[in-house]
């Protein structure tokens, strides 16, 4: 039902984004000419920098921007229809596009001013955000001034499922959707009548969409209602009562005309998996190079502080339950597991007597996790995802908790930036499921950024 609004909104967004991006480049050149800040000579060749931009560069900008917005979920309705999420993904997309464009310009347009790219990025961000806000405002004003443009929606049902549908529907009133009321055999507020009066209520209230949100036990009522509405032109949609089952994204498939609801489709699409893996390889490689010297110093400090190896290897459960060896800097005395008679008591305690002096400091800043960059490069882990768990703990999981292994396990994750070790296991698993349900490359970037703050604050780290 949001698809109709989303398609029109997305089309206008895309056209406006591309035109305004080209306009931003034009304005950036004009401002660069008016404000001669920065260098005027190429630092490598000594030649004067040019501010001329030919049609080929405009075409290159268009190609780069289209490639980035297609790769990132810029026009995913789950974000583009939400103002805050739309602004975040737009700024990230502009940042990525500018970096790619600057890299290409280094090889093919080296005489272009570097300051020009700064002006371009700022102007493009301002124009696109203003454009999005103006488009939303125009739609809101249009639907408020012209009631005929609205699509009136009738929800069949009054239980928790119907309430959830109504709450989400009200969040999209600016798209033209209007909740007319509920249809139920109960006498609750906002109920327009019983299910038997569906046809007359649809006609009387000028209903455009009927959303059936009945529990599974009311299957026969649903069939009777759909049959009763066949004579009307109203659109009828069914909301499956599967919220308690669908911990991951549900999908609709087709078996020779028979609709099938899938609850166990892969969380990551093939494209998302490739993009996530490339992102992991690039960032992990850079961090490995930057952190090589600090990791060498840490290893020497561990060896000097206590006897035993600097690297600690432990078997963990990865994606789809696959076992692998995870690497960490040793933070405890050698063979500390031999002093662990009662695992639940000794598990992740801030006053654990087995911790070494260097190890306690490493844990406070999460520096003991740095060797896991090698796990990321090997493909055992990702930079972001649910933390890989110990096999004996996984054996105690309930079935719903095993959903966390549907994606690559990560060095950091959603619960790490929202409480770290302070949270109980159940709350951590729920945070992992939130990450799985809302996965995107943008969310990975946000989590990595928040990880820096979580490490600096040292809240819940031990």
217: domain CATH number is 3.40.50.720
The average confidence (pLDDT) of the chain is: 80
Residues 331 and 435 in one domain: yes
Helix (H, G, I), strand (E, B) or coil at 180: strand
For residues 36 and 136, state if they share a domain: yes
71 within domain boundaries = yes
Q: For 264-297, what is each residue's pLDDT tens digit? A: 555 677 888 898 999 999 999 999 999 999 999 9
Query: Do 62 and 206 belong to one domain?
Result: no
Domain boundary residue among 145, 162, 184?
Answer: 145
257 in a structural domain: no
> Considering 87, 121, 145, which residue would you say is the last residue of a domain?
145
Judgement on whether residues 56 and 179 belong to the same structural domain of the protein: no
What pLDDT does residue 296 have? 95
DSSP state of 387: P
Residues 80 and 176 in one domain: no
Q: What is the extent of the structural domain holding 202? A: 150-241
The answer to whether residue 228 sits within a structural domain is yes
pLDDT tens by residue, 146-184: 766 788 899 988 877 888 888 888 877 777 788 888 888
Q: Are residues 49 and 177 in the same domain?
A: no
Tokens of 90: 């737009």
Lowest mean pLDDT among 159-168, 239-248, 293-302, 325-334: 239-248
DSSP per-residue letters across 200-263? HHHHHTT-SEEEE---GGGHHHHHHHHHHGGGS--EEEE--S-TTT-SS--EEEEETTEEEEES
CA distance 131 to 17: 8
User: Rounded CA gap, 66 and 458, in Å?
Assistant: 40
Looking at residue 373, what is its pLDDT? 95
**Of the candidates 159, 153, 161, which has an alpha carbon nearest to the alpha carbon of residue 241?**
161
Cβ atoms of residues 271 and 323 within 8 Å: no
Q: Are 33 and 88 in a shared domain?
A: yes
21 and 130 both lie in a single domain: yes
Number of domains in the chain: 3
Q: What is the mean pLDDT of residues 393-402?
A: 81
Q: 247 in a domain, yes or no?
A: no
Domain identity same for 136 and 155: no
Query: In terms of domains, do 71 and 91 share one?
Result: yes
Residue 46, pLDDT score: 55
132 has pLDDT over 80: yes
Any idea what DSSP says for residue 389?
A: B
Domain limit, last residue, from 90, 119, 145: 145
* Residue spans of beta strands (DSSP E) within 341-442: 382-384, 410-412
For residue 327, give every residue at least 6 positions away whose Cβ sits within 8 Å of its Cβ, in sequence order, or none.
311, 312, 313, 371, 372, 374, 375
Tell me: pLDDT of 369 over 70: yes
Residue with more model confidence, 372 or 49 = 372
Asked whether residue 261 is domain-assigned, the answer is no
> Is residue 21 within 8 Å of 124, Cβ to Cβ?
yes
Mean pLDDT within 413-435: 71
* Average pLDDT value for residue range 227-240: 82
309 near 335, Cβ under 8 Å?
A: no
Band (pLDDT 50/70/90 cuts) for residue 345 is very low
Same domain? 66 vs 177:
no
Q: Number of helices (H) and strands (E), helices first, in the chain?
A: 15, 11
Same structural domain, 200 and 70 = no
Residue 286 lies in a domain: yes
Is 245's pLDDT higher than 80? no
- pLDDT bracket for residue 257 (50, 70, 90): low
> Using an 8 Å Cβ cutoff, are 174 and 5 in contact?
no
Say if 258 falls within a structural domain.
Answer: no
The DSSP line for 275-337 is HHHHHHHHHHHHHHHHHHHHHHHHHHHHHHHSSS-SEEEEEEE-GGG-EEEEEEE--B-TTGG
**In this predicted model, what pLDDT tens digit does every residue of 83-106 receive, in sequence order?**
767 787 888 889 889 989 888 877
């Amino acid at each position: 039902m949001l698809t109709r609004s989303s398609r029109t909104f997305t089309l206008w967004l895309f056209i406006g984004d591309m035109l305004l991006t080209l306009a931003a480049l034009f304005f950036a050149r004009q401002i660069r000419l008016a404000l001669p800040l920065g260098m005027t000579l190429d630092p490598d060749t000594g030649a004067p920098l040019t501010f001329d931009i030919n049609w080929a560069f405009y075409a290159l900008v268009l190609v780069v921007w289209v490639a980035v917005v297609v790769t990132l979920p810029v026009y995913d309705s789950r974000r583009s229809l939400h103002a805050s999420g739309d602004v975040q993904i737009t700024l990230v997309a502009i940042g990525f596009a500018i970096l790619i464009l600057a890299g290409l310009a280094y090889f093919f347009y080296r005489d272009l001013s570097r300051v020009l790219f700064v002006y371009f990025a700022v102007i493009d961000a301002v124009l696109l955000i203003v454009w999005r806000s103006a488009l939303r405002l125009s739609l809101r004003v249009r639907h408020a001034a012209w009631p005929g443009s609205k699509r009136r929606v009738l929800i069949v049902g009054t239980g928790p499922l119907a309430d959830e549908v109504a709450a989400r529907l009200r969040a999209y009133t600016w798209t033209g959707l209007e909740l007319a009321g509920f249809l139920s055999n109960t006498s609750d507020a906002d109920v327009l009548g019983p299910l038997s009066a569906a046809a007359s209520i649809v006609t009387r209230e000028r209903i455009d969409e009927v959303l059936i949100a009945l529990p599974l036990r009311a299957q026969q009522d649903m069939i009777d209602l759909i049959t009763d509405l066949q004579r009307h032109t109203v659109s009828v949609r069914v909301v499956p009562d599967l919220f308690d089952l669908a911990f991951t994204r549900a999908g609709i498939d087709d078996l020779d005309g028979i609709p099938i609801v899938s609850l166990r489709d892969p969380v990551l699409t093939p494209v998302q998996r490739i993009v996530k893996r490339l992102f992991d390889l690039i960032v992990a490689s850079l961090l490995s190079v930057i952190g090589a010297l600090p990791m060498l110093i840490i290893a020497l400090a561990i060896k000097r502080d206590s006897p035993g190896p600097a690297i600690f290897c432990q078997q963990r459960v990865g994606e789809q339950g696959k076992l692998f060896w995870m690497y960490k800097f040793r933070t405890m005395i050698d063979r500390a597991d031999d002093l662990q008679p009662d695992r639940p008591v000794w598990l992740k305690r801030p006053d654990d007597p087995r911790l070494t002096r260097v190890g306690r400091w490493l844990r406070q800043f999460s520096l003991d996790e740095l060797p896991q960059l090698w796990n990321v490069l090997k493909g055992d882990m990702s930079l972001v995802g649910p933390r890989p768990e110990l096999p004996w703990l996984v054996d105690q999981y309930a079935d719903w908790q095993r959903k966390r292994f549907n994606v690559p396990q990560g060095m950091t994750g959603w619960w790490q930036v929202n409480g770290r070790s302070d949270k109980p296991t159940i709350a951590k698993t729920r945070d992992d499921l939130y990450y799985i349900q809302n996965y995107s490359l943008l969310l990975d970037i946000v989590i990595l950024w928040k990880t820096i703050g979580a490490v600096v604050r040292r809240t819940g780290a031990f």
